[in-house]
Structure 1
Amino acid sequence: MWNRCPVPLRSRLGLLAQHDFRQLFASTTVSQIGLQITQLAMSLVAIDQLGAGEFEAGLLITVQFSAFLLMGLPAGALVDRLRRRSVLIASDLGRAVLLVSVPVAWWAELLTIWHLYLVAFGYGAMTVFFDAAYQSYLPHLVGRRGLVEGNAKLEAVRAVSQTAGPGLAGQLVRLLGAPVALFVDALTMAASVLFYARIRSREQRPARQPGARLRREIAEGLRFVFGQPLLRAIVMCTGTFNLFFALYTAMLIFFLRRDLEIGPGAIGLVLSIFSLGGLLGAVFARRFASWVGQGRAIWMSTAFGTPFLLLMPFAEVGWRLWLAAAASAVAAAGGVIYKVTQVSFRQALTPDHLLGRMNATVRFLVWGAMPVGGLLGAVLGDRFGARVAVGVAVVGMCSAFLPVFLSGLRSMRTLPVEPVGVDRPSPDPDVRVG
């Protein structure tokens, strides 16, 4: 008689069997749900409570992501000087305080569009430091060999949160109003801090090099990113996509709310359907990369997925809207596969002492395009209407795959994990502190 040997629970859980990774996983869950609330509620505060038009609504994206242009490079150098867990905690606390100020000002009848812009910029500034620390912190917790699994699991929970979050956000806005929904979001940021505080592994404080200067450290991060041809291609692809995605984001909620005249609950459902594709992408990212090869997964995921967004500019109330939402889920799946593969590659390629600067440099370049896209969306939406602006954005996103397709990634099955011309501080890339 054949006896099946059960797979141990620890093996099935993988990294989730590790206490510290579970805390990061839980923190990501609650903070991502909060992020979905912020994205919907902030826009609806501007549109419904303050009567913002296309241009003013588009400026919210511009203001929020302008922090990446103004602070992105120094943030990476500063993060490399600090314990990254401390940066994560401080950033989430700062974001919580900023979000609370919106319902407080609304209750006091003092809320203005300028207050909202100030909160959006401060939120973006805290996010600059948070993101530089977050993507640099994972290698410390899981080692470089666990990066693909770790990123896939974090993208999966992010996708679940993005699937459930917009629907929850839509109902919160419908029941409580957009300003109060932002107060709920602040509570999720506070919960995220509690999970970070439970992480047991402690980083060693990075040693300052004699004669280190902020400008010199920033330049080192820039040289590393631009000195790697594959990184350059990824930056160009992601930057192009983000430029037009910011245009898309700036006008999509306005398009759904004002042009199609659907309510917050239906808007949340449309965004949830889009995010459902991201969950599927996270689940199948590793399998897809194994099937077609890591390099090819990077360009194929965006080249074949993004065109499904072309249905959204033609959406009308009824079946065409829901068909466009379902098609957008395919694009979201491709986007998450792209992200898991290229982020894992960047983390594996970069030595520990450059992780913060590499991530911040990449963020500066690719997220720095977003305020430009938001401003472009504001101008196009104001001049030609939100529907036309959404259409221009989708066409632009469809072209983003070209830099990676025209690079060495086009035919690579296995990506290199050793940078050229950079000395690693440790001979063992899988050593973890704590």
Structure 2
Amino acid sequence: MTTPQTSDRPPGAGLLQHRDFRWLLSGAAVSQIGTQVTLVALPLIAVVGLRAPAFQVGLLTAAETAAFLLIGLPAGAWVDRTRRLPVLLRADVVRAVAMGSVPLAAALDALTMAQLYAVALVTGAATVFFDVAHQSYLPRLLPREHLVAGNGALETARSAAQVAGPGLGGGLVQLLGAPVAIVANALGYLLSALFLRGIKSREPEPEPPAPGVSLADQVKEGLVFVLRHPVLRMIALATGTANFFSAMLMSVQTVFLVRELGLPAGTLGLMLSASAVGGLAGAVCAGPVARAVGQARVIWLSTVVTGPFALLWPLSGSGYAAGWFAVASAAVFFGAVVYNIAQVSFRQLLCPDELLGRMNATLRFLVWGTMPLGALVGGAVAGAAGPRAAVWVCAAGFLLVPLPLLLSPLRGMRDLPTPDATAAR
């Protein structure tokens, strides 16, 4: 098994003194800010600029995540056959070029929904490879006993971007227009690639597969590993349920907030930023909460406590009552981030290095593959019964998320396995 590269990290030093982890964290931070700007700008291009109906906006959200369903499994097997850092670099460049095409087409008065769908599909495919390689690369960069802290730092950067990005995106949309605001995302991906190039740790070439072992055989090995494991199987079911209803919400929230609640672009951005404060708080509190209640126990407890707040989404209204939407999102985001840090760390500790790419890709396929389906359902429900009805379905769905976790062996566990125990499996 490949050991993490730790030669430049003095004994006892904190994560931020680990030079290469700083570069990885910086790249994650700038790309996430750009992504959050696009979260506001891209649907506004469809809703305001191209006057797209609710179903087409839902289809756009589905296109952004369709690649996880279409190529998620073979992407993991491919990542396990190559070094992971170059995959991250190439994915960032592809995403920057795709996003950069949007303001260019807008300037030429040639922007269409067809192009937005194409951009969403291309960036989604690059994101599949980036996310699988990113989660599989961290255990090569950090010792396993620091994975929870490393994942927590990355989630803190992502949550901070979710606080700043939508507000910045809403402001840029009002000042410059939605297509020009997309430039921030393209620049974020380019800066991420530059930071990743600063990583100096030498990543060894993975061992080639045994003679006669095909890509399909490796895909099957990853699927079997996940589906036969009693905890991973339930984590996949719970996370897939959460992502299905999250995608429903994402596909209709711009239509709901703009057309039902009457929020302008700037206020929409601030609304999403305010809700992301919960995610930042979750990233900061994940470690202390896990130590207090148990690193395994917090996986299911976080969803039980925060899921019911989703019912405040459809109860929000115009004026000050729109704040209920932010309160609900802040609480749900808090629980989601605490959950993600704990369950991703659990997966990384559990899985041998040579299977990490396939394990992560299988989980991504199972849990992100539900998102395009959720987005399509959200658009269809909003088109048939209105955006508020679709938001009610989303809220009710979040109450189902904890059920698989409560039926899994996690209920009898307090903490995650130690690295020694994992290695002995």
AA aligned opposite 1:80: D
Partner of 1:245: 246
Checking the alignment, whether the CA contact within 8 Å between 1:345 and 1:417 is kept in structure 2 is: no
Specify the SS of the correspondent of 1:208: coil
State the number of aligned residues: 415
Checking the alignment, whether the CA contact within 8 Å between 1:298 and 1:342 is kept in structure 2 is: yes
Partner of 1:261: 262
Give CA-to-partner distance per residue, 1:127-177, whole Å, 9 cap, x none. 000000000011111121110000011111111111111111110111111
Specify the SS of the correspondent of 1:294: coil
Q: Which runs of 5+ in 2 are unaligned?
A: 1-9
Partner of 1:356: 357
Query: Matched residues in 1 for 2:205 and 2:105: separation?
Result: 39
Query: Matched residues in 2 for 1:412 and 1:98: separation?
Result: 45
Query: Matched residues in 2 for 1:411 and 1:176: separation?
Result: 54
Query: Matched residues in 1 for 2:415 and 2:263: separation?
Result: 46
1:386 is displaced (CA, Å) by 0.7
Partner of 1:346: 347
Q: Is 1:155 aligned to residue 152 of structure 2?
A: no
1:268 is displaced (CA, Å) by 0.8
Query: Matched residues in 2 for 1:144 and 1:211: separation?
Result: 32
Query: Matched residues in 1 for 2:15 and 2:419: separation?
Result: 24
Query: Matched residues in 2 for 1:323 and 1:375: separation?
Result: 25
AA aligned opposite 1:97: V
Query: Matched residues in 1 for 2:207 and 2:413: separation?
Result: 37
Aligned pairs for 1:164-313 within 5 A: 164-209=164-209, 210-313=211-314
Checking the alignment, whether the CA contact within 8 Å between 1:307 and 1:398 is kept in structure 2 is: yes
Aligned pairs for 1:20-419 within 5 A: 20-209=20-209, 210-416=211-417
Query: Matched residues in 2 for 1:411 and 1:273: separation?
Result: 36
Partner of 1:7: none
Checking the alignment, whether the CA contact within 8 Å between 2:315 and 2:324 is kept in structure 1 is: no
Checking the alignment, whether the CA contact within 8 Å between 1:349 and 1:419 is kept in structure 2 is: no
1:13 is displaced (CA, Å) by 7.0
1:419 is displaced (CA, Å) by 11
The list of structure 1 runs, each at least 4 consecutive aligned residues, that deviate by more than 4 angstroms after superposition, is 10-13, 417-420
Specify the SS of the correspondent of 2:71: helix
Give CA-to-partner distance per residue, 1:261-313, whole Å, 9 cap, x none. 21111111111111100111111111111111122201110111121121121
Give CA-to-partner distance per residue, 1:353-396, whole Å, 9 cap, x none. 00000000000000000011001001100000111101101110
1:211 is displaced (CA, Å) by 2.4
Partner of 2:4: none
Q: Which runs of 5+ in 1 are unaligned?
A: 1-9, 430-434
1:317 is displaced (CA, Å) by 1.8
AA aligned opposite 2:316: A
> Cα distance 1:11–1:53, how it changes in 2: closer, same or farther (>3 A)?
farther
Query: Matched residues in 2 for 1:278 and 1:310: separation?
Result: 18
1:319 is displaced (CA, Å) by 1.8
Give CA-to-partner distance per residue, 1:300-343, whole Å, 9 cap, x none. 10111121121121211222111331232121111100000000
Checking the alignment, whether the CA contact within 8 Å between 2:310 and 2:398 is kept in structure 1 is: no
Give CA-to-partner distance per residue, 1:105-144, whole Å, 9 cap, x none. 1111111111110111111100000000000011111121
> Cα distance 1:263–1:11, how it changes in 2: closer, same or farther (>3 A)?
farther
TM-score, structure 1 normalization: 0.93
Checking the alignment, whether the CA contact within 8 Å between 2:81 and 2:206 is kept in structure 1 is: yes
1:12 is displaced (CA, Å) by 9.6
Checking the alignment, whether the CA contact within 8 Å between 1:350 and 1:419 is kept in structure 2 is: no
Specify the SS of the correspondent of 2:296: helix
TM-score, structure 2 normalization: 0.95
Checking the alignment, whether the CA contact within 8 Å between 2:16 and 2:22 is kept in structure 1 is: yes
Query: Matched residues in 1 for 2:343 and 2:326: separation?
Result: 26
